[in-house]
Structure 1
Amino acid sequence: MVLGDAWLWAAVEWSPPPFEEFYGRDGFDTRTTAALLVAALMKATFLWLILRTPIRGPLDRRTKALRLLLYVAVVYSLVPWYLIGLLPDAVGAALPLVLWTSIDVLYLLIIRWRSRVLRAAAGAMFAVELVSMANYLLAVLDLPAFQAGRIVGLGFTLSAVVATVLTVVGQRRDGRWSRGTQVAGWSSAGVIVVMIPVDGIYSSGNMVMPVIMDMMAFVGTVWIAATARELAEGDRPAGLPPARQRVIRLAVAAVVVLPVMTMIHPEQTPHFTYTGRSLGCYHRPNYGDLKPEERDAAFLCRARSTEGGRSPLFPDSLPDQTILAHGRALCRAKDPGEQAAILKRAGSERPDGGMDPWDLVYVCPEIIGLSQPELLLSTAEEAAASAAYIAEENAKCRDPWPRTKGVVQATAKYFLFADGDHGYLVHDPGDKASEKAVERAMDRVFDDSAQIGVSGSAVLVGHIEDVIDLCLTVKAFRSAPPLRMAGWQQVTEVPVVSPTGRLAVPEMDGGDVGAGAPMPNLAIAGKGRYRVRVYVRLGDEGEEHLVVVFPGTSKKRLKLKQ
Structure 2
Amino acid sequence: MHLSRSAASASLAVTFASIALSLVLGTATPAWLATMWYAPGESLKTSPLLPVLGGLLLVGLVNSWMLWQLFRGPAPLVGPVRRAATWLRLILYANVAWLLIPSFLPSPVELVIGLVLWASALVLITMVLTGPGRAFRSALLLVGAVETAGSFAIGLVDDPVSRFFPGTAYRATVLVVEVAVFAGMVMLLLAQRRDGRWSRATILVGWGTFASGFLVELVDGLTSGSTIESIAEAMDVLFLVWLARTAHELNREPRRPAPLRVPAAVMAAASVSLLMMIVGPENRPRLSYTWQGEQLPPSDCWTWRDPPRVADTPAHERDRAYLCSVNKPDRDISDQALFSRGRAACVRFARGEPVKARPALLALLCPEVIGRSHPDLLLSSAQLAQRQKEKDDLAREQMRREARREDALCRDPWPALRTRFQATASYYDWDAQPYAIHDKEADTSEDSDAIWDEETLDPLETRGALALFFTPSQDWATCVTAKALGSAPPPLRRRGWDEVVEADIVSESGRLVMQTLSASKVRFPDLARNGPGRYRLRLYTRPEQDLILVYPAGRGERRGQGP
TM-score of the two chains, using structure 1 as the length reference? 0.50
Pair 1:376-2:394 in alignment: no
- Which of 53, 61, 64 is matched with 1:44 structurally? 64
- Which of 112, 135, 141 is matched with 1:114 structurally? 135
Is the CA contact (8 Å cut-off) linking 2:55 and 2:231 kept in structure 1? Answer: yes
Whole-Å separation in 2 of the counterparts to 1:459 and 1:200: 73
Paired position in structure 2 for 1:228 = 247
Is the CA contact (8 Å cut-off) linking 1:361 and 1:368 kept in structure 2? Answer: yes
Show the 5 A alignment for 1:84-99. 84-85=103-104, 87=105, 91-99=109-117
Paired position in structure 1 for 2:205 = 184
Unaligned ranges ≥5, structure 1:
240-244, 257-271, 274-278, 306-315, 331-341, 349-354, 398-419, 467-479, 483-493, 498-523
The offset of 1:323, in angstroms, is: 1.8
Pair 1:534-2:515 in alignment: yes
Whole-Å separation in 1 of the counterparts to 2:435 and 2:115: 58
Change (3 A) 1:206 1:536: closer
Change (3 A) 1:377 1:545: farther
The offset of 1:157, in angstroms, is: 5.3
Superposed CA offset, 1:226-269 (max 9, x none) = 33344457145999xxxxx9xxx9xx9xxx9xxxxxxxxxxxxx
Paired position in structure 2 for 1:214 = 234
Pair 1:167-2:184 in alignment: yes
Pair 1:12-2:12 in alignment: no
Superposed CA offset, 1:163-202 (max 9, x none) = 3322233321462264444433333345445546766997
Pair 1:289-2:312 in alignment: yes
- Which of 55, 60, 75 is matched with 1:35 structurally? 55
Change (3 A) 1:299 1:12: closer
Whole-Å separation in 2 of the counterparts to 1:134 and 1:7: 36
Unaligned ranges ≥5, structure 2:
1-15, 23-28, 274-288, 291-301, 329-337, 401-429, 476-483, 487-502, 540-545, 550-563
Change (3 A) 1:552 1:195: farther
Superposed CA offset, 1:47-78 (max 9, x none) = 33334443545444444333211210101222
- Which of 120, 124, 149 is matched with 1:127 structurally? 149
The offset of 1:18, in angstroms, is: 1.8
Residue identity opposite 2:182 in structure 1 = V
Whole-Å separation in 2 of the counterparts to 1:439 and 1:109: 88
Is the CA contact (8 Å cut-off) linking 2:150 and 2:176 kept in structure 1? Answer: yes
Is the CA contact (8 Å cut-off) linking 2:435 and 2:515 kept in structure 1? Answer: no
Is the CA contact (8 Å cut-off) linking 1:534 and 1:545 kept in structure 2? Answer: no
Is the CA contact (8 Å cut-off) linking 2:325 and 2:361 kept in structure 1? Answer: yes
Whole-Å separation in 2 of the counterparts to 1:187 and 1:392: 70
Partner SS state of residue 306, structure 2: coil
Whole-Å separation in 2 of the counterparts to 1:296 and 1:199: 18
- Which of 70, 89, 92 is matched with 1:67 structurally? 89
Whole-Å separation in 2 of the counterparts to 1:439 and 1:66: 84
Is the CA contact (8 Å cut-off) linking 2:444 and 2:465 kept in structure 1? Answer: no
Whole-Å separation in 2 of the counterparts to 1:373 and 1:59: 77
Show the 5 A alignment for 1:39-438. 39-55=59-75, 56=77, 57-79=79-101, 81=102, 84-85=103-104, 87=105, 91-106=109-124, 114-115=135-136, 116=138, 119-134=141-156, 139=159, 142=161, 144-146=162-164, 158-171=175-188, 172-173=190-191, 175-176=194-195, 178=198, 179-192=200-213, 195=216, 207-216=227-236, 218-231=237-250, 234-235=253-254, 282-292=305-315, 319-330=341-352, 342-343=353-354, 358=360, 361-362=363-364, 365-366=367-368, 375-379=377-381, 381=382, 385=386
- How many pairs are equivalent? 399
Change (3 A) 1:77 1:35: same
The offset of 1:131, in angstroms, is: 2.5
Change (3 A) 1:134 1:53: same
Whole-Å separation in 1 of the counterparts to 2:533 and 2:449: 20
Superposed CA offset, 1:303-335 (max 9, x none) = 999xxxxxxxxxx9x9444421232345xxxxx
Cα RMSD (Å):
6.4
Is the CA contact (8 Å cut-off) linking 2:150 and 2:173 kept in structure 1? Answer: yes
Is the CA contact (8 Å cut-off) linking 2:195 and 2:257 kept in structure 1? Answer: no
Residue identity opposite 1:78 in structure 2 = L
Partner SS state of residue 283, structure 1: coil
The offset of 1:532, in angstroms, is: 3.8
Paired position in structure 1 for 2:425 = none
Change (3 A) 1:387 1:32: closer
Whole-Å separation in 1 of the counterparts to 2:123 and 2:435: 68
The offset of 1:107, in angstroms, is: 5.0
Is the CA contact (8 Å cut-off) linking 1:300 and 1:320 kept in structure 2? Answer: no
Change (3 A) 1:295 1:127: closer
Change (3 A) 1:547 1:366: farther
TM-score of the two chains, using structure 2 as the length reference? 0.50
Is the CA contact (8 Å cut-off) linking 2:143 and 2:184 kept in structure 1? Answer: no
Is the CA contact (8 Å cut-off) linking 1:537 and 1:544 kept in structure 2? Answer: yes
Percentage of identical aligned residues: 24
Change (3 A) 1:301 1:233: closer
